[in-house]
Structure 1
């Protein structure tokens, strides 16, 4: 191994790239910086206004959906049959009354008065309460509307199945007013209202709250960190301005996508966070490279003497060099998000599609807005000094120490990553409903009380939709299979001609092992007539089966595209394969940490959540896709400098050590800022957002420290010149088509 640090680097002469497309773009931005800034300012204001409904349109947050992730399959087919027959989970609205006797005269009078008023509301199909049952409060029909213990009663309003959302909202406002009068008319009564539609609204509303809270935490702290990194407010503000533009662009693109596909509530936070993180990364890279280019031309002269020609030359070179890194990075992130489009689940397709548009926004910000800001503030950027940074520093010394014991470093880092990844072997998926909300959320409390006091109203754990008559279904229900040592018990009800429903309760709830085993048994043991097993456990099974079927294709396409892209950048076969393997190991460690924290219920208190004993079903793919993209982001940052030095004639060791010195500060600073961004969203209330935030924050932290600072230089030290190996045919192909300096 060569003693790299003792040998001077080759002269840092740049090849002539003044004719490149990116150089022309940089020159255009440099000549008209204020025009570029004004255009972006107008676009960002318009984007925020459109997304929030300021133009009189429906806001993005009003267009969001929520519910369990679904794919085409048995569960969705069975639910479609019920909807076609006029059954919908969102068509009911409930009132729970506590603190009164249901049979008291005041209760009876209040219920009958409310029933008369509610029956006249447009869109209401029926109203049920125990006081209205013909057989009286002691009849079996009334039992479902009376609590299992204590005083009180429940009332249920059912809306017309085909009611439009606006008409339903108007009807519910009037129904809630009558419910309030009912409760007020009974001395000592307390009432709470809710339903599946209200639960969905609570989740989507929480997304908007979490988004504001996350940005409120992330942006100010990020700005303070960048002030420390750059040593000034001007330089620190440029990436932040770019990040704000990114948020506006993300919200506008999501609003556009909401008119084409259904957007789940969690998509907004996840995609916005990605755009915010990428813009900070790219802004940091661009501002740092511009200062470096300008210092190289000024050669220590006072900042006041910087000429406009030097600024223009520096911004053109910055957009060409840092811009190529941004384009490569953006393509790698786009490739990882493109893998989500392979999956059948609409939520993953939505995140992948919207994410691709946000990557494009982040790239445009880095190639136009941030360089324009650099040109306007060029002299202030170098106010503290115009001297070139040395090639020896903290990161070069770290790399030199790693080069002395590369094998030991590799073994130690892999051991740590393997330990972190171990909990992922016990990954268990779920698809929560009310559990997504914090414990204190009114709708979560409502459904928890409903399940405890009115189990029949809270819905069965598993259902079988039977395309058969009542007698056939009753015979089927009487012979349900034995699951976990207990025979399943079903309640049969007629839905429509030739369509019946079997309601089945299992120990532990709709997503516990009992429900999952029941779904498997019912699907394996079919009657002579068509049946569809539905419920949360059934939907989860369809979703996970679809993931398993599509995952190999998605991984293969992402891996192949990444290998080709990195080969075009490096001309090496070894470096892309090594990068891919290291990312797989680090992402496994990130997923292991998520399982350890959320599934195994560690850090519940500090992070403010209640474990459900599993991980939300979309989280593994989001952590893998986004984590892979961000990891490759930093890989490209580091490799671009190493390749640049190697192409100028530096040895492998010189290129790695100097490349780490020149990019290490940017990578570390960018990683700190992105971790802050993701941590800001961990402070939100939705469980799925917390899991995503922790997973991606850990992924970035592991990648920027253990992988980029230790594992990459150690493996490149161990392989030496073999890092740059490629078959002769591929070398000739790269010489002709490769993307180099």
Structure 2
């Protein structure tokens, strides 16, 4: 039956020409496409493996902020004063004043290469009482690494970290660069462990889901291609801009995760089409490839573009860390998409019925088929699938009471998300590390020996005379919370007097109280005719939070507009994209609430093995938002493709929703389960922010694939009815001529000619 809706009529001329043409090409040239694709993969792997030497470190700052400008001016004017490392030397028997203790410390520090170390402050040179412990058995040395860039400082830290041990004394090394080095080392270990845990489980689950050995290998194959290809793309990008080493994390996560999803969609549809073919001849295999590309291939194409567009929103931020995540994520997604549309269908064309090789016992004795994902043509004219299928029964149950389900689910999700309303923000410090990490232990030791945690700010004052500096420092000392404020150095550059002022206070640098101190310091007016820049770790955090807050609305606008356009092109409706954005936002807020409850409030800290810092790292929810919005649309596209398919065939909204949920339910659940395993591997990390990403995304993916797709979508689509497919007249006419639908090729059983498959030459 042809749809009775004037703007939704089925016409053969409006088929998905591009994907059909590509499917025919792959079907005719399977070996050529496969061998060509594998050659490209081998070249990309050889080139991409060198990406690690091209990646940069850091990148958490916005160069336009006051803190970044203060640091640059301080480095240029007073080099050798930043606190890059804090080295603690201690002895249970010797005191700091003992000649042997002094000789061990001074000899060690003086032997450090000048090309790697710009300066070091010791108690022996400065006599500063803050550098000696209360019991006189420990001293700390403040080391400034040479270099004007984060990469240079990172290289110099690697060069000197083995040279800081003093003979006869216990040595503990902390400070920003020690923390950063330990984070990098721990991240590398954690990713390797996550992969070693998740990949075998993914393979076993794939074997259970597909029921044959060869089919189960397909997701892992596409995942490997996605990761190695993304490495090569990112290495190319490093030739024109800096890319952070943290981009490797998102490449591994999304490369494997989405490749598994896409392989599952494509392989499942191919096996479905092949199972419904009259035989397993070469022509039937080619017809199955064409059909797979015009259906699942089209879904993969739209999904890949939507996820990549969501990740592209990270490029709007000035922080290189977030932009790098965008580069890595887009590379992983697009390579996974291309692999699923080239190498994978070509391999399926070569394998044909051999895709069922190594069939498990529960699949023996019958041709490969998918019980929950038959084509509409196979059951056209019966109500069996859309009435009696397990997922269809769930959908019908929801659609009988849509208001009840909608209210209960939305209220429940918002309740889960309620802790997020009280989120507090900060940046990375040593508490993201396990307690066993050397720099974390050094920070704890420093707090124990030197009177608890303290924080500081560096202020560069330009153009003030001595009287003005003295008055300004006095006002800084009166700021609530400040313990000391003093001018530590001064010089004249190009006729301007530049003065470095330092203010200190008690407490961790990332707390809300410390951020309030920085706000108070910045509120102090510098002397007339002068300017002041406030920097330091706390000021970095304040500026990072403000910068992300200022760019977040633009990110949201970009993501929303891209989603609206792509989903309209896919489904010809302006209502469905708006509904999808709202539903996805609600489910993501729920996952953010869980993350806040666990990682900010410290619930389950003992069970999960981390120390709550009392706030959330402000960059991680932004990264999660970009990834999760894309991933949620992945399942949305797959589900709505099946719904649209039935709507075009029948014009019955209720039947279309039930059929869509039935035909996609098994695949979406399987894909979410496999993706959850990949993501869950990151939840085992010893780094708090990786653990947070793993758990937050795990919650979001599971909620999205179950509660949202199986319950919330049927409820909202039942309430909207025919309005689901509404588009204004001009847009409807445009889509009727140029839009895309998954099931555009009518079959002979409906009185229309079957699509012609070009024969092999």
Do these two structures clear the TM 0.5 threshold for a shared fold by scoring above it? yes
Aligned to 2:436: 440
Tell me how far 1:474 sits from its aligned partner. Answer: 2.8
Q: Which moved more, 1:206-215 or 1:193-202?
A: 193-202
Is 1:107 matched up with 2:87?
A: no
Aligned to 1:506: 505
Q: Which moved more, 1:397-406 or 1:728-737?
A: 728-737
| Equivalent pair of 1:227/1:233 in contact (CA under 8 Å) | yes
SS at match of 2:501: strand
Aligned to 2:380: none
| Equivalent pair of 1:26/1:319 in contact (CA under 8 Å) | yes
1:193–1:591: structure 2 CA closer, same or farther, 3 Å change rule? closer
Aligned to 1:153: 139
Cα distance in 2 for partners of 1:17, 1:309 equals 24
Is 1:281 matched up with 2:281?
A: no
Residues 389-428 of structure 1: pairs in structure 2 closer than 5 A: 389=371, 391=385, 392-428=388-424
2:309 to 332, 335, 339: 335
Cα distance in 1 for partners of 2:639, 2:53 equals 38
Deviations 1:118-154 (A, max 9, x none): 1776555555544x44xxxxxx725343223351333
Is 1:231 matched up with 2:231?
A: no
1:75 to 67, 71, 78: 67
Tell me how far 1:321 sits from its aligned partner. Answer: 1.4
Deviations 1:338-377 (A, max 9, x none): 2222233322222223322222101101101221232233
Aligned to 2:82: 89
Cα distance in 2 for partners of 1:195, 1:519 equals 20
Cα distance in 1 for partners of 2:421, 2:186 equals 32
Cα distance in 1 for partners of 2:628, 2:161 equals 46
Tell me how far 1:52 sits from its aligned partner. Answer: 4.1
1:254 to 234, 246, 256: 234
Tell me how far 1:39 sits from its aligned partner. Answer: 4.2
Is 1:368 matched up with 2:342?
A: yes
List gaps (5 residues or longer) in structure 1: 1-12, 54-58, 134-139, 299-304
Aligned to 1:551: 552
Aligned to 2:748: none
SS at match of 1:325: helix
| Equivalent pair of 1:98/1:153 in contact (CA under 8 Å) | no
Q: Which moved more, 1:333-342 or 1:698-707?
A: 333-342
1:38–1:214: structure 2 CA closer, same or farther, 3 Å change rule? farther
Is 1:523 matched up with 2:522?
A: yes
Q: Which moved more, 1:584-593 or 1:343-352?
A: 343-352
| Equivalent pair of 1:470/1:500 in contact (CA under 8 Å) | no
Cα distance in 2 for partners of 1:675, 1:545 equals 33
| Equivalent pair of 1:64/1:204 in contact (CA under 8 Å) | no
Q: Which moved more, 1:376-385 or 1:593-602?
A: 376-385
1:398–1:15: structure 2 CA closer, same or farther, 3 Å change rule? farther
Is 1:25 matched up with 2:22?
A: yes
1:527–1:641: structure 2 CA closer, same or farther, 3 Å change rule? same
Tell me how far 1:554 sits from its aligned partner. Answer: 2.3
SS at match of 1:490: strand
Q: Which moved more, 1:278-287 or 1:314-323?
A: 314-323
Tell me how far 1:479 sits from its aligned partner. Answer: 2.2
SS at match of 2:500: strand
Deviations 1:262-286 (A, max 9, x none): 3334332123312221111111000
Cα distance in 1 for partners of 2:210, 2:353 equals 14
SS at match of 1:653: helix
| Equivalent pair of 1:89/1:196 in contact (CA under 8 Å) | no
Aligned to 1:494: 489
| Equivalent pair of 2:405/2:715 in contact (CA under 8 Å) | yes
Count the aligned residue pairs.
Answer: 702
Tell me how far 1:505 sits from its aligned partner. Answer: 2.1
Cα distance in 1 for partners of 2:263, 2:143 equals 54
Q: Which moved more, 1:154-163 or 1:284-293?
A: 154-163
| Equivalent pair of 1:481/1:522 in contact (CA under 8 Å) | no
Cα distance in 2 for partners of 1:585, 1:739 equals 28
Aligned to 1:616: 617
1:401–1:622: structure 2 CA closer, same or farther, 3 Å change rule? same
Residues 691-710 of structure 1: pairs in structure 2 closer than 5 A: 691-710=692-711
Tell me how far 1:307 sits from its aligned partner. Answer: 0.6
Aligned to 2:714: 713
| Equivalent pair of 2:59/2:321 in contact (CA under 8 Å) | no
Is 1:264 matched up with 2:240?
A: no
User: Normalization by structure 2: what TM-score?
Assistant: 0.86
Residues 50-69 of structure 1: pairs in structure 2 closer than 5 A: 50-53=47-50, 59-60=51-52, 63-66=55-58, 68-69=60-61
SS at match of 1:103: coil
SS at match of 2:342: helix
Tell me how far 1:507 sits from its aligned partner. Answer: 3.0
Tell me how far 1:239 sits from its aligned partner. Answer: 1.1
| Equivalent pair of 2:311/2:626 in contact (CA under 8 Å) | yes
Aligned to 2:678: 677
Q: Which moved more, 1:84-93 or 1:588-597?
A: 84-93
1:394–1:150: structure 2 CA closer, same or farther, 3 Å change rule? farther
Q: Which moved more, 1:675-684 or 1:144-153?
A: 144-153
Tell me how far 1:337 sits from its aligned partner. Answer: 1.5
